[in-house]
Amino acid sequence: MNSPELLDLLKETKKQLLHLQTLGVEGVQLSTQNAMEIAEATSPSKTYSATVGSQVFQAKPPNLPEIKPARASFDRLFEIGPEPEKLALSQETFEQIHEEIGDCTRCPLHRERTTVVHTEGNRKARLMFVGEAPGADEDIQARPFVGRAGQLLTKIIEAIGLKREEVLIGNVNRCRPPGNRPPTPEEASMCKPFLLREIAIAQPEVIVVLGNTAMKNLLDTREGITKLRGTFQEYKGIKVMPTFHPAYLLRDPSKKRETWEDLKKVRDYLDSTAQPS
């Protein structure tokens, strides 16, 4: 049997095993008769003879281990692991979450903030943007991404053919850290669960994480943004595209081209999965 035929046979076998698995069959049982025939054929006590010309040769098979009927798991046969964890649809509302957050004092950031800045935008959006925390302008206006970095983000959104009001925009933290420093892990741990609950409500198809802090908090990774940007990651069945934060692009405009390449991948993916109207 040549390689293409063997590959086709393996594919067909896997297909049949998957079908059995959907029917509730958890394993396959080798035939006892076949196992006994194999065991007999490879028994050390069995002697085989062959005649070549006028000479008779006798030989025994190698001393192979005893073969017994065995139950083979589907997972071991074809490495069929469990389904990846999917994000369950939440029945909460954004209003319920915001009410629970209230005039939050869960971490030290409340001491110097002006307002709590909640996620805003289309709550049924296919695309969501997540940053790290509000800045000075956001703290005053109680809206995410409204300062210079926010204006750049709006242009980026428009460049991929969408409007700001068509997407969902939020941050890991809802209070401005002093001096616009990144939130500490402890501060993020107080706020992150609320963001995850909002994601469970909205169920976006793609999340763009803006910057190192947002990426590490959402994906629980130690890798840096430079290494992971531009490549789709995953959060519980949702595509995640890490890219540079707009504030970083204002400091280093040379990174705008890379960010544009990242967002084109997001645009192309959304176009490929769009439902016909």
Q: Which helix (H) or strand (E) holds 154?
A: helix 148-159
For residue 72, CA distances in Å to 24, 65, 75, 266, 272 come to 15, 18, 9, 42, 39
Together in a domain, 113 and 74: no
Together in a domain, 113 and 72: no
Together in a domain, 66 and 126: no
For residue 194, CA distances in Å to 41, 191, 231 come to 65, 6, 26
pLDDT tens across the length of the chain (277 residues): 555 566 666 667 666 666 656 555 555 554 455 555 545 555 555 555 555 556 655 555 555 555 454 454 545 545 545 566 789 999 999 999 999 999 999 999 999 999 999 999 999 999 999 999 999 999 999 999 999 999 999 999 999 999 999 999 999 999 999 999 999 999 999 999 999 999 999 999 999 999 999 999 999 999 999 999 999 999 999 999 999 999 999 999 999 999 999 999 999 999 999 988 6
Beta strands 127-131 and 168-171 are: parallel
| Residue appearing with tokens 């869960």 | 106
Together in a domain, 45 and 152: no
In a domain? residue 89 = no
pLDDT computed for residue 36 by the predictor: 56
Together in a domain, 126 and 207: yes
Together in a domain, 75 and 100: no
pLDDT computed for residue 50 by the predictor: 53
Domain that holds residue 122: 94-273
In a domain? residue 2 = no
Copy the structure tokens of residue 275.
């439902």
Together in a domain, 179 and 205: yes
Last residue of a domain, one of 82, 113, 148: 82
Domains: count for the chain: 2
pLDDT computed for residue 77 by the predictor: 47
Cα separation of 103 and 95, whole Å? 14
In a domain? residue 87 = no
Together in a domain, 244 and 181: yes
Last residue of a domain, one of 59, 82, 105: 82
Together in a domain, 107 and 239: yes
Together in a domain, 115 and 64: no
Last residue of a domain, one of 20, 50, 82: 82
CATH code for the domain in which residue 224 is found = 3.40.470.10
Nearest to 152 by CA among 123, 131, 172: 131
Together in a domain, 154 and 230: yes
Helix (H, G, I), strand (E, B) or coil at 245: coil
pLDDT computed for residue 30 by the predictor: 46
pTM greater than the 0.75 cutoff = no
Helix (H, G, I), strand (E, B) or coil at 127: strand
In a domain? residue 203 = yes
